[in-house]
Chain A
Amino acid sequence: MTVLGDVSGALDILCPMHLVLSTTGRVMHAGPTVQKLRPDTPLIGLGFLDLFELKRPRGITTMEQLNAVAGSKLHLQLRDPPRTEIKGVLVRAPDNAHSIVNLSFGISVVDAVSDYALTSADFAATDPTIEMLYLVEAKSAAMDSSRKLNLRLQGAMIAAEEQAFTDTLTGLKNRRAMDHVLSRHIDWGTRFGVMQVDLDWFKAVNDTLGHAAGDHVLQTVARIMVEETRDCDTVARVGGDEFVVVLPYTKGTDGLEHIGRRIIDQLSRPITFQGEMCMISASIGTAIYEPDARKTMAEILDDADVALYASKNRGRATQTLYDPALRAKVG
């Protein structure tokens, strides 16, 4: 082990990843850490270029060529798996017969410490590698915390948006959401139907059986209206006992009347709350938005309202399709 006399011992401490090479490129001495790369094979006597593939500079196959690039950065890769990438630099020894190559893991150190079970003692006391590993772990932990915070904030944002468009009692869309849906359909030029649905006798339920019963009725009504409409329709609660249904892509009026009739029939069945029967029904006014008529959102909602008023006047539990003649009657 005294190829270079006392210098070898000093190099083992200063550069534990150095190799001393002979003129023919044989390993004459290996620093304690570099030997850990091949724990089962003594490196002494092996050819340096047999152990490592020189990736840059290219085209070097002999020790003579290697000595010619003394002092420049070498990009090396172990030929055996795991094919760790290693950086190095070669210098000629003072005796001019040997060469010294010092190696470093560079960025591959994070994998290398686990691949080769390295410890702090395997790095020179002045080597900042341990601090670098510390930083890698510390940054990963900090990033992990930040990422979790971002996910939670994103979740909170989605929840806040959902709430802002949702009626919290029934889970239906609220007025804001309905305005949004209506203006979108108007922008797209969709033909759609709008139903204003008003519950009949709801106030009586609230007054005689209390608010809990009223809330239960509203939730049941919401469920029924969602069941009786299609997935593409929007059901919104826009007031205490007022609902609006937006039904896009409807042809003619038969389909709308059919859905309206089903809603009235289902809502006219008694709803039980704590053993009490809650009897309600619904009145509906329907208007159809024809893109060519170029009505505004307020106008089309008002049409539906006029039709609803007519239904109420006709004795409830009925539906009316808007007709301009209705306005004359209303006066």
Chain B
Amino acid sequence: MHGLINRAIQRFVIDSYGLDKWVEATRVADLGFVEFESMLIYDAGVTPNVLDAVSQVLNRPRHEVMEDIGTYLVSHPNVEALRRLLRFGGVSFVEFLHSLDDLPDRARLAVSDLKLPWIELQDHGPGSFSLVCQNQLSGYGHVMMGVLRAMADDYGALAVLEHTGEGDGVETIAITVIESEFAEGRAFDLGARAL
């Protein structure tokens, strides 16, 4: 698994729960180190181990932890760069949803060896969608739930999300966009670079 993904988990735990909890999780996972490097590749088995360890240390179900990671990735100021990159997907939440099919390709444009699970948006009529996520990493759908929830907030859209289960190597999220311009949303200034 790409170091960026493992490091995202690390930063989520440190920024939300403190360094001690993270150090504890690395011990439970028997990592032998505490710092993931974002530009290195790690063994595929490491990520599920770390997620289980984090879930154990925080005493919370793993799917809840994964959804929180998704929310963290979009809403925490320490990872503002990622929110900005996602906002390039469209000027409204619905346009953003339609850009999700391209997400793995966009990620690969930025970091050529970063392979995200494929995702596909299905359109069921006005305001009604489902997002099908490949789940090599069990619970990836929950991460996407967190991302979508936070992005809806970011755009100021009112949307209802429901994880409708997994099977056949995919997880599905039902998305109902009730109102596109429900709230003010956060500003997205093309020229204000996060770095």
| A residues less than 8 Å from B81 (CB atoms) | 137, 141
Question: Quick check: is A164 within 8 A (CB to CB) of the other chain?
Answer: no
CB distance from B82 to the nearest CB of A (A): 8
Question: Quick check: is A272 within 8 A (CB to CB) of the other chain?
Answer: no
| A residues less than 8 Å from B111 (CB atoms) | 138, 142
Question: Quick check: is A133 within 8 A (CB to CB) of the other chain?
Answer: yes
Question: Quick check: is A117 within 8 A (CB to CB) of the other chain?
Answer: yes
Question: Quick check: is B191 within 8 A (CB to CB) of the other chain?
Answer: yes
- Contacting chain B: which of A41-49, A145-153, A169-177, A318-326? A145-153
Question: Quick check: is A68 within 8 A (CB to CB) of the other chain?
Answer: no
A134 near B191 with CB under 8 A, answer: no
B193 interface neighbour in A119, A140, A149, Cβ under 8 Å: A140
Q: Please provide the chain A residues from 100 to 129 with a CB less than 8 Å away from any CB of chain B in the complex.
A: 110-115, 117-121
Q: How far is the CA of A142 from the CA of B81 in the complex (A)?
A: 10
| A residues less than 8 Å from B37 (CB atoms) | 149, 152
| A residues less than 8 Å from B193 (CB atoms) | 137, 140
Q: How far is the CA of A131 from the CA of B102 in the complex (A)?
A: 12
Question: Quick check: is B88 within 8 A (CB to CB) of the other chain?
Answer: yes
- Count residues of A near B (Cβ-Cβ below 8 Å): 28
Question: Quick check: is A135 within 8 A (CB to CB) of the other chain?
Answer: yes
B106 near A114 with CB under 8 A, answer: no
Query: Whose C-beta in chain B lies nearest to the C-beta of A131?
Result: B88
B39 near A117 with CB under 8 A, answer: no
B110 near A142 with CB under 8 A, answer: yes
Question: Quick check: is A139 within 8 A (CB to CB) of the other chain?
Answer: yes
Q: Please provide the chain B residues from 157 to 176 with a CB less than 8 Å away from any CB of chain A in the complex.
A: none
Interface of A is mostly: helix
| A residues less than 8 Å from B192 (CB atoms) | 114
CB distance from A69 to the nearest CB of B (A): 32
Q: How far is the CA of A44 from the CA of B20 in the complex (A)?
A: 64
| A residues less than 8 Å from B190 (CB atoms) | 113-114, 118-120, 130, 133
B110 near A139 with CB under 8 A, answer: yes
Query: Whose C-beta in chain B lies nearest to the C-beta of A144?
Result: B195
Query: Whose C-beta in chain B lies nearest to the C-beta of A115?
Result: B191
CB distance from B8 to the nearest CB of A (A): 12
A137 near B195 with CB under 8 A, answer: yes
Q: Please provide the chain B residues from 18 to 54 with a CB less than 8 Å away from any CB of chain A in the complex.
A: 37-40
Q: How far is the CA of A114 from the CA of B88 in the complex (A)?
A: 15
Q: How far is the CA of A298 from the CA of B154 in the complex (A)?
A: 73
Q: How far is the CA of A152 from the CA of B37 in the complex (A)?
A: 10
B85 interface neighbour in A119, A141, A145, A148, Cβ under 8 Å: A141
Q: How far is the CA of A98 from the CA of B39 in the complex (A)?
A: 55
Known: A117-B191, A121-B91. 12 other contacts (CB 8 A): A111-B191, A118-B190, A131-B88, A134-B85, A135-B109, A137-B84, A137-B194, A138-B106, A138-B110, A139-B110, A141-B81, A142-B39
28 contacts between A and B (CB under 8 A): A110-B191, A111-B191, A113-B191, A115-B191, A118-B191, A119-B190, A120-B90, A120-B91, A120-B190, A121-B91, A130-B88, A130-B190, A134-B88, A135-B110, A137-B85, A137-B195, A138-B106, A140-B193, A140-B195, A141-B194, A141-B195, A142-B39, A144-B195, A145-B4, A146-B39, A149-B38, A149-B39, A152-B37
| Shortest beta-carbon contacts, A-B, top 3 | A114-B191, A138-B110, A113-B191
